[in-house]
């Protein structure tokens, strides 16, 4: 059974760096086709994809947030970490991590997702 | 602002069929497969459809997906009260860089 759980601060001040950890079990991030994605949902708004880390170390970022995001992995701990610099109140959202599968190099999806963690950016 | 457009809302009575559209372009839906997610407030989003029309194990066959050109759709037949949720289409966009994108979301009311 694959499970993921997000952890991190519930409150950060504007301009601070936000660090979120996704702890997972039930799969290996070394396995071909596997990845971990980060997605967020501001209150009352739609889902927004942030970043994806692949089994081979490749990374992809949302173009609008690329300059502020860094995604890394600690394979020994089964964790993926997302760092967001220079936070702003508009970054207030529930942040989710999700297991990603890519097959045939072209078909991919996110399943399952973690329960999410609410982060508020406020002074 | 998302590059995938969905109607804000859809509704139906129990037993009816509801269809949700997802409009994109040649750089996203036109060249990549589409997934659909169901999201109930306070819970983790759930994968409903992957690869345009494939259902993961455990997803009822009342849910079906399709894609044509630069648009995709999700159909829910035999609508049930537990289907009341937000639904999102999602795919990859290849222009100019590769990135993933979710639709604007559709609230289904039963």
Which residue would you say has higher pLDDT here, B2 or A5? A5
Chain A contact for B47 (CB, 8 A cutoff) = yes
**Cα of A24 to nearest chain B Cα, Å:** 15
Give the SS3 label for residue A66. helix
* pLDDT tens digits in sequence order for chain A, 123 residues long: 999 999 999 999 999 999 999 999 999 999 999 999 999 999 999 999 999 999 999 999 999 999 999 999 998 899 999 999 999 999 999 999 999 999 887 788 999 999 999 999 999
CA-to-CA distance for A36 and B73, rounded, in angstroms? 26
| CB contact residues (below 8 A), chain B span 74-103, against chain A | 88, 90, 92, 97-103
Q: Which residues of B touch A1 (CB under 8 A)?
A: none
Q: What does the pLDDT look like over B20-72, one tens digit per residue?
A: 999 999 999 999 999 999 999 889 999 999 999 999 999 999 999 999 999 99
Considering only CA atoms, which of A75, A73, A48, A49 is closest in space to residue A60? A49
What residue of A is the nearest CA neighbor of B33? A107
Nearest by CB: B44 against A49, A52, A114: A114
The fraction of chain B above a pLDDT of 70, given in percent, is: 98
Q: How many CA atoms lie within 13 A of A68 on its CB side?
A: 16
pLDDT band at B1 (very low <50, low <70, confident <90, very high): low
CA A12 distance to own-chain centroid: 17
């Amino acid at each position: 059974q694959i499970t993921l759980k997000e952890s991190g601060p519930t409150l950060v001040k504007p301009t601070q760096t936000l660090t979120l950890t996704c702890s997972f079990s039930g799969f290996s991030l070394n396995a071909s086709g596997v990845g971990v994605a980060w997605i967020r949902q501001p209150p009352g708004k739609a889902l927004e994809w942030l970043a994806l880390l692949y089994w081979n170390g490749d990374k992809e970022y949302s173009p609008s947030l690329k300059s502020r995001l860094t995604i890394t992995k600690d394979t020994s701990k089964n964790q993926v970490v997302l760092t967001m610099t220079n936070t702003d109140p508009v970054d207030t959202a529930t942040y989710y991590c999700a297991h990603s599968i890519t097959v045939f190099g072209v078909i991919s999806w996110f399943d399952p997702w973690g329960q999410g963690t609410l982060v508020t950016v406020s002074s | 602002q998302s590059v995938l457009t969905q109607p804000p809302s859809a509704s139906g009575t129990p037993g009816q069929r509801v269809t949700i559209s997802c409009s994109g372009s040649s750089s996203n839906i036109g060249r990549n497969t589409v997934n659909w997610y169901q999201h109930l407030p306070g819970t983790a989003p759930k994968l409903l459809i992957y690869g345009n029309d494939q259902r993961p194990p455990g997803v009822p066959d009342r849910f079906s997906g399709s894609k044509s050109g630069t648009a995709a759709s999700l159909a829910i037949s035999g609508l049930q009260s537990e289907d009341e949720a937000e639904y999102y289409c999602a795919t990859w966009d290849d222009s100019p860089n590769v990135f993933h994108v979710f639709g604007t979301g559709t609230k289904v009311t039963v």
